[in-house]
Amino acid sequence: MLASGELGQFIWIAAGTVAIAVPLILKKVRLPRRLELETLSDNQLTDKQRDFFASYDSRLKDMGYAPCVTYRMSNIPGSKNLLRTYISSTDPVRCTVQVSAAAKGPVQFDQVQFITEFADQSRTFTTNRSVSPTFDCEPDKFVQECRGIRDVAELKRRHDQFSEKYQTRGPVFTDSKNYLAKAQQYYEKEVTHQVSQKLLRLDAANNEYRVTLKWALRMQRNMFNPFADNFTLLKLAAAMAAGSLPVLVSLAQVQLAHGSGLSAQANLGWAPMLMLAYAVAGVAAGLLFGHKSFLWAFLLAYVPTLFLPPATSHPIGMSLIMAWVADLTFRVQGGRRRLV
């Protein structure tokens, strides 16, 4: 069983990570005072990007939607992104498909949002990803999370149901000619709210916003929360199934050794099988949990050992193999899926 001292070491490592990361976040993370929104034609997209949006074009066309504008926010430091907004001539609800990624590294997210604007400037959002807890939601912005829903028709149905109680506010149609100007106004409104919540501060000298200590600590809390971001119960079930492989191999090893009286040296013959079990569990963690794969690899390696008999050993090296495989899987998958 994994020694409690090793869990303590993990906690100390996590604390050290926070101590190093927070000053770096305060130094490097910033937002522009004004967004630069660059419109893009299909000819400016890569084949991979065109294919990605084409799949949504087809599905949304069947729902009465057509592309309004494709654009990117070109002046957000350390970030790459690509967005396409769709509108309908018969429905005030608009849809935005967004891809966001770190400028370097494998981290990339794509999400679908349905948005309804109302006459009083309030909005309802339904998204198929989790909303980042690092920023506070504006008081007139009502958000519904539907994590993991890839069916756009189902996501739209849930949005309509969610927005029904706000209909008395008077939904308004999107002005396609002034959409980007409206997006700029909403950005300015949002960052102003974050300043009031002491999550951003204006750096007037550099004409940009800097994050505060409060935001940096939230960011770290979110990083070490395995249930944040795009966690779903289905992913948890799949992860637990994969994480049970090392447990089953370890139990089989102990049972065989106990029944046959094998020596500890003889048990070393199980090492390759045990290593393979941890590697398979690591691949599962990498595929399922993306940038949280290292954290989930630790949990999948540690938690099941609480249910093992005392005679079962859990070398820390196996956990490191599992975490390494999980991170490698995430990076390989991220490179293959990269769109921006």
Residue 10 lies in a domain: no
User: Do 247 and 191 share a domain, yes or no?
Assistant: no
User: Do 88 and 160 share a domain, yes or no?
Assistant: yes
3-state secondary structure of 128: coil
**Domains: count for the chain:** 2
User: Do 243 and 106 share a domain, yes or no?
Assistant: no
Angstrom distance (rounded) from CA 98 to CA 201: 26
Q: How far is CA 282 from CA 8, 135, 227, 277, 319, in A?
A: 22, 31, 18, 9, 9
pLDDT at 244: 65
Domain residues for 281? 232-337
pLDDT at 1: 42
Residue 49 lies in a domain: yes
pLDDT at 121: 92
pLDDT truncated to tens, each residue of the chain (340 aa)?
Answer: 444 555 565 677 677 777 888 899 899 999 999 999 999 999 999 999 999 999 999 999 999 999 999 999 999 988 899 999 999 999 999 999 999 988 776 777 889 999 999 999 999 999 998 888 889 999 999 999 998 899 999 999 999 999 999 999 999 999 999 999 999 999 999 999 999 999 999 999 999 999 999 999 998 888 777 776 667 777 777 777 766 666 666 656 655 555 555 554 445 555 677 777 778 888 888 888 877 777 777 777 766 566 555 545 555 666 777 888 888 888 887 777 778 7
Cβ-proximal residues to 173 (8 Å cutoff; 6+ apart), any chain: 87, 92
User: Do 42 and 120 share a domain, yes or no?
Assistant: yes
Q: Give yes or no for a contact between 109 and 99, defined as CB atoms under 8 angstroms apart.
A: yes
Radius of gyration of the chain (CA): 24
User: Do 301 and 169 share a domain, yes or no?
Assistant: no
Residue 61 lies in a domain: yes
User: Do 174 and 91 share a domain, yes or no?
Assistant: yes
Residue 263 lies in a domain: yes
Q: What is the pTM of this model?
A: 0.78
User: Do 186 and 38 share a domain, yes or no?
Assistant: yes
Residue 1 lies in a domain: no
Residue 216 lies in a domain: no
Whose CA is closest to 26, among 218, 193, 188? 218
User: Do 276 and 196 share a domain, yes or no?
Assistant: no
Residue 90 lies in a domain: yes
